[in-house]
Structure 1
Amino acid sequence: MLLFTPFIVCVLALALDHLFGEPRCMHPVVGFGRLVTAVEKRLNISPENPLRGLTTGILAVLLLTAPLLGLAVWVSLALDGLLLMLAQTVALWLAISLRGLAEHGRAVAEPLHEGDLERARDQVSRIVSRQASALDEQGVAAAATESMLENGADAVFASLFWFLVAGIPGVVMHRMVNTLDAMWGYRNPRFLYFGRAAARLDDLMGWLPARLTAHTYALLGDRKLAWWCWRNQAPQWDSPNAGPVMAAGAGALNVRLGGPSPYPRGIKQRPILGGTRDASPASIESAIRLVRHGVWLWLGISLVATILTFVVVTQ
């Protein structure tokens, strides 16, 4: 029965996410984000100094992650049976965000479909860092589609991966590191050095989950185009993990993503990803569906692997 526990926990956590979504108040990730902001303001006092910035950035990562990682390890060792399963289920539920992903995507797709560009811009500004006021309909749809694909890797598949590999400590550590990268991983004067440790650690923890996600997208969409985009377009992207995920996802959906995008600091020229179709409300919905079908695929593979392991062990 213990062999089936990880699979059961994944099903229960996804069921909680489907029923309740993310907690509306007192979400631990939100609380952690506030702590991250306070620590950064206290330690990042010389952002232009490379050595000091790198050193204080490493110190900040250790101060923020070590206590909570230690607590996660203690919980995993101190509990057993149903109590441990309950703790694992809650930890994974709090880390995963499949329902939230869909809600954010549809909040953009619905006003776009109704021709309400201003409301669509307002909604997309909540999930991307682009200057939403400068986006046209296709730009808004492309930004939301990219967000669905990339956050599917970060907020869904990586959480499942790290839980299956390392239980509560794995999923807690990944969520903390991913939050640190989201808040500090900018190549601007304030975070260029201070945020580098968090960014590199996030790259390391996301490397394998990102490629498994890219494989998942490719298997469930236009396989030939997805493989071609991954092989030829992903190396041009500036992120080692977002590149494969977004290239494979864009190819799987046969939608054109990337290209020049407006940011507060100006137009950023990004490589073109994917196929020939313009992004649209339909591509946002297709990206949501791709992530959801990918979760079902992962659950199926996990169940089959568990059954095969059970058969081998009991022989």
Structure 2
Amino acid sequence: MRSADEDVTRRLDEPLLRALLALLDEASVSQAARRLGLAQSAMSRHLASLRRLTGDELLVRVGNRMVLTERARTLITPTRRILADMSLLVANVQPRPLNTLRMSIRIATYDFLPKAFFAEVTARIAQAAPGCDLVFRGLGSRFEHYRQLADGEVDLVVTVWPELPPHLRATSLLNEPLVCLMRQGHPLAPEGALTLHSYQRARHLGSLEHVPGQGTIIDNRLMELGVVLDTAVHTQFLSLAPAILARTDLVFTTGRLLAEAFAREEALVIVPFPAPIAPMRYRLVWHERTHADSALRWVREELVGVARAMAQRSPGDP
């Protein structure tokens, strides 16, 4: 004779779990239905079943919108993890056609990859899999993305930090040299004017640390050279950098692709870094549980393809 707990577990099949996750993510019956390609009436029936099974309302109306209950919030991480683990059981199932996919693709990444990278990734996925939606989110603390991948909060991570635990997979995305970006007419712009000594004496624009006290990846590269910068402006919003650089004598150190993109926005010049220094090595990282998922494998291939096409493009190309 089955226990009550066993009976509930048997009724929580994959379609109901996917409906639960969509409702938790969207906090809207209509949007969750649209995301899964279901009629709103079908999603309402799923919600009614889930309310009976969980003993909680899950979604309640506050004013003119729906919000998650506290119980519903606690279900987000385990539901994502269960669905991610279930993908291991169907790794050899025939891949679904891309144009029938209905899923959210969540990527944690930096904003110091050029906008063209995100635009091209979005265009490729929208064309091949119009039923999918993309979520680009920032990285948390230096190791926060390990937990995000393990808990199923994100599907893919773009990182430059080299440390990875064994349950994560990775492939090279981009290797690009560090360069210095400054306004046209800057005293350090002429050939030969930027030396390691003059670079260290200059004032700089820099990004904020992900974790206070740990420094950025560029800070760590410079420490290997014994260089500490006088950073006059720190910003979390790198889109501000071109305008700031064009109107000041600040120097910005970044990868070549972002420097080229910024130089097309303002009257800026790119100067080679004045000493040998390790390049920015971007890696695409994912969890072992999603390695065999055909849809996410396709997404990974698209990201790598876009990155490599950008790397092969000659400097100055649009």
Greater helix percent: which structure? 1
Greater strand percent: which structure? 2
Bin for the TM-score computed over the shorter chain: under 0.3
The normalised TM-score by structure 1 is 0.24
- Structure 1 or 2, whichever has the larger Rg, is 2
